[in-house]
């Protein structure tokens, strides 16, 4: 394939929002394969059992098994802007930058399919498959092999121009495209992201234990958040950007030409009280086109209760008492924990909790919660 055709592919990719584009062969280096094995063996995937499945691990290590006749991988980066913000009141929750706008997954999939159609025209008859996020593809390793980005010590991919504010996607193809040069590491002696993680999830350089990661806990994890991790979660109610925000490569990161993930007004520093009032229909309606729907109502409101408990703001007490009647044990349980945090220095709230414990009607609720976990 000529350099001209490669340039044309990059141009088409850019037209669809993929401002980063690199080419590689469908092979994973042995270092990356071994790192994956260690991570899976240590069960750092938490409750994402699919990440530990043998077949999926094998596919991650051998991308050539994903498409008959595969010759090349087109690695793509879809950048988004991470706006600066300051909280105005302690009653606001923090949502990770990428999740403040439309659902990146739906958006990228559409754009990737459109790019694939353009490549059908450009390259003629060839086989291809597109991947965004959910398939067993070791994205960061392929991106590094093609020179698109290197893996930072926080495990995310970093590009010289865009820092780590981008999503990866892949187009596997039977077209024979000359590979680009592999990326080299550029973290140097820096380790800033490691102590910046509020829950200590970066357990060693390049290794993130998902079980400790706020992104995993607030989005993928469906259960009661381990009690020792609730305080460090602070006001983060969906995902976390801390390891990226501190990274020097992100201080001068370029913004995308078009920011397809521009924040919506209601998800940019949302009011916690407004979120805790959402019923199932409200939740569905509000997050229909948003990545936040992934946490489901129970998960999001669980996170909101924790943020309220960490806020030190007594204004939330009446509402937290109200949600002790919610149908979801997950929400009730974390509301009790939040009340206990707010009550720590307040005799009135302590008294209200005692009254709750003494009240026959609430005794059943509290007993049920206690059966899930000892929270008070
Ligand atoms: S903060 Fe430092 S160590 Fe962490 S990813 Fe950025 S450059 Fe690498």
Question: pLDDT averaged over consecutive 10-residue blocks of the chain (376 residues)?
Answer: 91 98 97 97 93 92 95 97 79 95 95 96 92 90 98 98 97 96 97 98 98 98 96 97 96 93 88 97 96 97 97 92 92 93 74 66 61 48
pLDDT value of residue 84: 76
Per the listing, tokens 């024979």 go with: 176
First to last CA, the chain: 66
Which mutation among 152, 165, 245 tests ligand 1's pocket best, with the greatest number of atoms within 8 A of CB?
A: 152
Length of the chain counted residue by residue? 376
Instruction: Give the residue numbers annotated as catalytic, written as ranges.
Output: 133
The answer to whether the Cα torsion of 83, 86, 90, 91 is positive or negative is negative
Residues 375 and 331: their CA atoms lie apart, in Å, by 12
* Nearest protein CA to atom 6 of ligand 1, as residue: 247
Whether the CB-CB separation of 326 and 365 falls below 8 Å is answered with: no
- Tell how far CA 83 is from the center of its chain: 17
Residue 212 Cα to ligand 1 midpoint, Å, equals 19
* Nearest protein CA to atom 2 of ligand 1, as residue: 190
pLDDT value of residue 362: 62
Per the listing, tokens 């394939």 go with: 1
CA-based nearest residue to 21, from 124, 146, 152, 105 = 146
Residues 299 and 124: their CA atoms lie apart, in Å, by 46
Per the listing, tokens 């008859």 go with: 125
Residues 64 and 356: their CA atoms lie apart, in Å, by 60
Which residues, judged by CB distance below 6 Å to any ligand atom, belong to the binding site of ligand 1?
A: 152-154, 187, 190-193, 246-249
Residues 213 and 148: their CA atoms lie apart, in Å, by 25
pLDDT value of residue 265: 84
Tokens for 130, please give them: 């597109």
Report field, pTM of the whole predicted structure over 0.85: yes
């Amino acid at each position: 394939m000529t350099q001209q055709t490669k340039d044309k592919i990059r141009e088409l990719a850019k037209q669809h929002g993929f401002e980063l584009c690199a080419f590689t062969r469908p092979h994973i280096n042995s270092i990356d394969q071994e790192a994956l094995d260690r991570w899976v063996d240590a069960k750092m995937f938490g409750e994402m059992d699919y990440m530990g499945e043998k077949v999926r691990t094998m596919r991650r290590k051998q991308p050539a098994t994903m498409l008959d006749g595969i010759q090349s991988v087109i690695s793509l980066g879809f950048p988004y802007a991470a706006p600066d913000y300051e909280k105005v009141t302690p009653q606001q929750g923090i949502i990770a930058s990428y999740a403040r706008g439309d659902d990146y997954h739906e958006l990228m999939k559409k754009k990737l399919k459109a790019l694939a159609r353009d490549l059908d025209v450009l390259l003629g008859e060839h086989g291809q498959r597109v991947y965004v996020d959910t398939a067993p593809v070791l994205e960061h390793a392929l991106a590094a092999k093609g020179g698109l980005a290197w893996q930072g010590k926080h495990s995310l991919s970093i590009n010289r121009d865009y820092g780590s504010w981008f999503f990866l996607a892949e187009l596997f193809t039977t077209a024979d495209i000359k590979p680009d040069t592999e990326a080299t590491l550029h973290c140097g002696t820096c380790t800033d992201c490691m102590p910046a993680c509020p829950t200590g999830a970066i357990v060693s350089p390049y290794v993130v234990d998902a079980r400790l990661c706020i992104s995993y806990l607030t989005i993928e994890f469906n259960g009661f958040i381990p009690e020792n991790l609730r305080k460090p979660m602070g006001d983060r109610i969906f995902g976390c950007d801390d390891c990226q925000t501190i990274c020097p490569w992100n201080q001068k990161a370029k913004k995308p030409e078009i920011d397809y993930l521009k924040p919506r007004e209601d998800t940019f520093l949302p009011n916690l009280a407004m979120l805790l009032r959402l019923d199932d229909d409200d939740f569905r309606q509000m997050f229909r086109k948003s990545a936040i729907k992934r946490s489901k109502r129970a998960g999001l409101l669980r996170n909101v209760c924790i943020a309220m408990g960490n806020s030190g703001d007594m204004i939330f007490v009446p509402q937290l008492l109200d949600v002790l009647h919610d149908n979801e044990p997950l929400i009730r349980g974390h509301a009790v924990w939040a009340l206990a945090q707010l009550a720590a220095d307040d005799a009135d709230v302590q008294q209200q909790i005692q009254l709750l414990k003494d009240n026959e009607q609430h005794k059943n609720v509290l007993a049920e919660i206690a059966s899930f976990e000892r929270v008070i």
